[in-house]
Amino acid sequence: MKRIIVIAGHYGSGKTELAVSLAMELAKEKDKPYPRLAVIDLDVANPYFRSRERMDLLEANGVKLYADVYHSTGATAELPALTAAIRAPLEDEGCQAIVDLGGNDAGARVLRQFGKYFEGDDHELWTVVNFRRYETLTVPAAREHVEAIQNELQIKVTGLVNNTHLLRETTPEILREGYEKARELSADMEIPLLFTCYPAGIVAPEALEGIVPLRPLGLYMRPAYLDK
């Protein structure tokens, strides 16, 4: 992985869950490629399911969280005001930064003000796709979303992440269906399919033979009350 990992995607694709899960995974590695790790929450378009909501969890595990100018998860978290401190992990060559963007091309637009940090080759742009979301049920629809994000940012998407699921109703069949569509999208756009996510604890990886590579995804962002 490059030092800066930008995670984009359509609304509800699971990009924030991926950002938090990836950060938690990297934080537990013994041989870290970078001495510091940060998550940058640049989602100022949607007030729901943002990585800043897990600030305490992340920072308890050694992951610095950068978000709004008030560094808050309370009422001020709804203000679309970014702090200049967000530039710190982008400039720190000893810090691996995971950037959690807002949904769709409109939500991703905020990254453009940080364009100078993406002129080199130390970054990746991942786009998450969930083929069980209404906006991306088909390969052509998913391609339209990926192209819109890429065109808005003027940064090439370097990898696709298949995150097709229905939360706790996810089955191996749903994952296989999404995997085949993701492979078709990857071939169509000539963008590598980096991995397929599966909800850890809900679907066993043994039931997903032939889907490679696989990456377990936590449910850090899902409020417990939704399962009651």
Query: What is the CATH number for 188?
Result: 3.40.50.300
Among the listed residues 27, 45, 160, the one whose alpha carbon sits nearest the alpha carbon of residue 101: 45
Tell me the pLDDT tens digit for each residue of 142-154: 999 999 999 999 9
- Give, in degrees to the nearest 5, the angle at Cα 195 between 188 and 45: 80
User: 46, 8 in Cβ contact below 8 A?
Assistant: no
State how many domains the chain has: 1
Give the Cβ contact number of residue 96 at 10 Å. 23
Strand order in the sheet with 36-42: 64-66, 36-42, 95-101, 4-9, 123-129, 159-162, 193-199, 214-217
Which residues of the chain are under the pLDDT cut of 70?
Answer: 45-50, 68-83, 222-228
The pLDDT of residue 225 is 34
The pLDDT of residue 105 is 87
Largest Cα separation within the chain, whole Å, is 47
Residue 166: give the domain boundaries: 4-227
